[in-house]
Amino acid sequence: MKEKIRYSIVTLIILTLILPLSASSFPVQANSLTTLTPGSPATIEQDLLINVVFVGFDHSWINTNTFISWQLPDYSPVVRSRLWYGVTEPLGLVFNFDYNLVFAPEDFAEDLFEYIPTVSTLGPLYSRQIWYNTLSEEERAGFTIEGDNYYINASSVELWLEENAESLGIDAVNQYTIFFINGFEYYFPHSYWFVDEPDPDTGVVFGAYGSRQMTGWGGQFGRTWFLDLSAGPDRFLFETPAQTYESAVRPIWEFDVCGGYRTDLTERLAKIARFVGVDMLFTPSPLYPTYLQPPLLPQHIQFDVNMFENSSTYVGSYWFNPSVVEASYENFEPYLDFSVSFQDRQLMKYPVLNKAFANFASGNPYSIFGRKSPYWWAAPYGIDFHLYYKDQLLRFLTAVEGSQADYSVPIFAYAVDDEQMGIQFGLGGFADDNWLDGTQEYIQVFNTPYWAAVGYGFTLTTIHEAGHHLGLSHPHDGYDPVYGEAESEIGQAAWVGDHSYTVMNYHDITYHFGVFNKDSMYRYMTITYLNYANKILAMVAKNPNSGKVAQMIEWADGKATSALEDYQAMNYYGSVTKMKLAYDKIVDAALKLNIPIEPSSWQSAYRGRTITLFDPLLSP
């Protein structure tokens, strides 16, 4: 595929524009640089093919013109957290889409549904199937789910689809591909599950729970995601007192093509392809900025975990495994170094924090610190935690002093009794921003004896929330360039995005990051390293001794060019590792010239503080 990259002037919040210098002031001729441009933010443009395969669908069931009319012609990810403050910050990536609609022959569906029972476990109907049968006959289109349920190994079906897609002329491993499946002709009750990864703390297999039964899967081995409309049914919301339910993902038997009453099959599937497939899984926008402490981007990230114990029966420190957190992230971003620091504390020894926590749980809307923030009325949303740690953070960090880490992710865990959670009971955690411009800040995670008995520890939740801090969104929410919040356009159907291999879903069935996560992060970081290489290169170009590093600049430019070749070939890991090498070389060139490069984050400010803080620093 022909490489396309263009540079444009874009407005960023933190990436300050520095105009390119003339060739005469720079040791390398401007026209000799292929990729790097001193001071100019970059835009990487890429053409992507999206395959949509209909399995078990007659061609007449789908209005292909209507389906295509719903799809995005192009997409430019933005930093979603900035939108909360009225700022649109483009990431610098542009995707131009082409859609390939394929109707698989009948024998493809027949072979699939002959294969499925061989990778299934028979068992009783699960909760949603039982609830579905309680709906009115009219709502169910006269259909009742009867017999045993086939619990299908989701991983095996993903592999089967990827291996057999070659017969359709599709590379479903390397090309983004959606399979819409209908097996009603071969119908037997079935759902998909993933039961291969017990919770790392408790050993509970959440994938076996009825609430975690799925109608699809993807992103574990390749760039495939499938949705089976003859499975399930999927999650739905009962409306009381009427026995009706609301979901944009309806089982196939409710549609007129299978004798039901619904007539909008094409539109529903088109929306899922766009808002779930493209917006949430394949090319999602990051939740938070992916540049940490720019322009000196970190090499070693440390998760600083402070656990506050305050339970009469539950000891939270028993249910946290730092090595699992570290291993998960080393697998996710192997070009960086990760470590975990853990401190176990007693919440009652921190009276102000204890009061802030109680206020958070009580439902009282007002901050215990008064009007110290314009968001003083947002206590149930964590404003008190933000205000407390803003003044007290240094005492809880080990990455700033005494370790080799150059960036700290502050994580505060609370092991408390059930009743102490108040209105927040059931909340596992959240990754907060700075309540100013949408920059990521602190992470809070929670657990209680009840949820521990259900099967939750702290490790999986910590990995999930740290993923948000580094920029990842859930697979059930995202940004659409036309509609804004993608999930608002499809309601409950957004949750089928969770039917994918990622710790960022709400099924809690894996503590690893999948193919879609890795693709997204590697793209995010490719443009991040390129932008900050350009920014620092502008600083180098201004130095009167810049001729001494000309060879270093030329080497970095060559690596950056090779990185973009990998990017266009969808080898995103190769792209990010090479672009990081280019960035590192430019940093080395700046250091060789004694150019100061200071990180613009709270870490740099806290390094300069030497005072010891004691609780309570503030007396509410």
Q: Is the Cβ–Cβ distance between 603 and 294 less than 8 Å?
A: no
Element (DSSP H or E) covering residue 54: strand 42-55
Least confident of 226-230, 370-374, 484-488: 484-488
Give me the half-sphere count of Cα atoms (radius 13 Å) on the Cβ side of residue 337.
10
Q: How confident is the model at residue 29 (pLDDT cuts 50, 70, 90)?
A: low
**Can you tell me whether residue 308 is helix, strand or coil?**
strand
For residue 346, give the amino acid letter: Q
Does 3 or 101 have the greater pLDDT score? 101
Q: For the chain, how big is the Rg over CA atoms in Å?
A: 26
| Nearest residue to 55 (alpha-carbon basis) of 279, 174, 224 | 224
Per DSSP bridges, beta strands 176-181 and 237-239 are: unpaired
Q: Decide if pLDDT at 353 tops 60.
A: yes
Q: Decide if pLDDT at 51 tops 90.
A: yes
| Cα–Cα distance, 428 to 545 (Å, whole number) | 54
Does 237 or 612 have the greater pLDDT score? 237
Q: How confident is the model at residue 120 (pLDDT cuts 50, 70, 90)?
A: very high
Does 485 or 573 have the greater pLDDT score? 573
| Cα–Cα distance, 42 to 10 (Å, whole number) | 8
- As a whole number, mean pLDDT of residues 359-385 equals 96
Q: Decide if pLDDT at 226 tops 60.
A: yes
**pLDDT tens-digit readout, 161-186:** 999 999 999 999 999 999 999 999 99
Q: How confident is the model at residue 485 (pLDDT cuts 50, 70, 90)?
A: confident
**Alpha helices (runs of H) in 335-380, residue ranges in sequence order:** 351-362
| Cα–Cα distance, 385 to 137 (Å, whole number) | 50
Give every CB contact of residue 610 below 8 A, 6+ residues apart in sequence. none
Least confident of 123-127, 425-429, 603-607: 603-607
Question: Could you give phi then psi for residue 396, rounded to 5 degrees?
Answer: -110, 5
**Can you tell me whether residue 433 is helix, strand or coil?**
strand
Angle in degrees, CA 329, 331, 337, rounded to 5: 55
| Cα–Cα distance, 49 to 100 (Å, whole number) | 7
Q: Decide if pLDDT at 245 tops 70.
A: no
Element (DSSP H or E) covering residue 112: helix 106-115
Does 198 or 618 have the greater pLDDT score? 198
**pLDDT tens-digit readout, 425-445:** 999 999 999 999 999 999 999
| pLDDT given for residue 18 in this prediction | 35
Give every CB contact of residue 106 below 8 A, 6+ residues apart in sequence. none
Q: Is the Cβ–Cβ distance between 335 and 576 less than 8 Å?
A: yes
**Can you tell me whether residue 408 is helix, strand or coil?**
strand
- As a whole number, mean pLDDT of residues 207-214 equals 94
For residue 498, give the amino acid letter: D
| pLDDT given for residue 487 in this prediction | 79
Least confident of 125-139, 335-349, 462-476: 125-139
Least confident of 79-83, 391-395, 447-451, 468-472: 391-395
For every residue of 462-511, DSSP letters joined together read HHHHHHHHTTPPPTT--EETTTEEGGGGTGGGGGGGGSSS-TTSSS---S
| Cα–Cα distance, 42 to 203 (Å, whole number) | 46
| pLDDT given for residue 244 in this prediction | 52
| pLDDT given for residue 246 in this prediction | 63
Q: Is the Cβ–Cβ distance between 106 and 167 less than 8 Å?
A: no
Element (DSSP H or E) covering residue 506: none
User: In the numeric block, which tokens belong to residue 137?
Assistant: 């006959």
